[in-house]
Amino acid sequence: MTLKLFIAGTDTNVGKTYISAGILSAFNAQSWSTLGIKPIASGGNEDTLIHQQTASIKLPQHEITAFAFEPPIAPHLAAQFIGRTLSVKQLNLQSRHALQHPADVSVIEGCGGWYVPLNSTETMADFVIANQLNVILVVGVRLGCINHSLLTFRAMQQDKVNILGWIANCIDPHMKNKNENIATLKEWLPIPCLGVVEHGMRPETVIDVRKIVECVSLEC
């Protein structure tokens, strides 16, 4: 079985790279060959390096990340500032080698939230749809996460993508009623919770690899 997993977030700065690395490490521990891909990076190449270092297959940075922008801003704006235009077609062309490279598991990390723009008509969601990628939603557990999660999930449903499940990433160590918020999310999101990552915890220790594989097989 070959898995292509798109890691989406409820927002920016919810720990998509951290969780992506955890998923790669969890599959590494099961002796699956893994590949990390970050098609667009804004704000430097740190995320790209993490993908490169964590995956068992080591691609060059320019293949892991087709478009790298220095400013930590929305990618369509970063592209405009240097006179470029992003599109799904360009993203597919520039990422083709990485997307088609043989691997048991390819973890493809998004940029920002579900509907982060690529240009005036396309978003990152269009890239996911065009490539028919399985989606895992990373929920940054902080104040407002329930609303952000439900809105994102409903947008994904509307786009008819295959949502495997969600992972709670407890990014705010001082959040009040954290457990109650996670319980509410489990009640309201009709997809499997693939792991609850407490603040400072290594994600690979709690991410349920077997459930991910099962969900791909069943098209959860």
CATH, residue 150: 3.40.50.300
Total number of residues shown for the chain: 220
Residue of 123, 133, 135 lying closest to 88 (CA atoms): 123
Q: Which residues contact 207 (CB under 8 A, 6 or more apart)?
A: 19, 22, 23, 26, 167, 194, 195, 197
- The pLDDT, as a whole number, for residue 220 is 63
pLDDT averaged per 10 residues, the chain (length 220) = 95 96 98 97 92 97 95 92 93 96 98 95 98 98 97 98 98 96 98 97 95 84
As for how many domains the chain has, the answer is 1
- The pLDDT, as a whole number, for residue 53 is 97
Q: Indicate the pTM of the whole model.
A: 0.96
Sequence-ordered strand ranges (E) for 147-211: 163-169, 193-197
Domain residues for the domain of 180 are 3-218
- The pLDDT, as a whole number, for residue 1 is 80
- The pLDDT, as a whole number, for residue 90 is 96
Residue of 35, 28, 37, 9 lying closest to 209 (CA atoms): 28
3-state DSSP call for residue 211?
helix
- The pLDDT, as a whole number, for residue 7 is 98
Active site residues: 38
Backbone angles phi, psi at 13, to 5 degrees: 60, 40
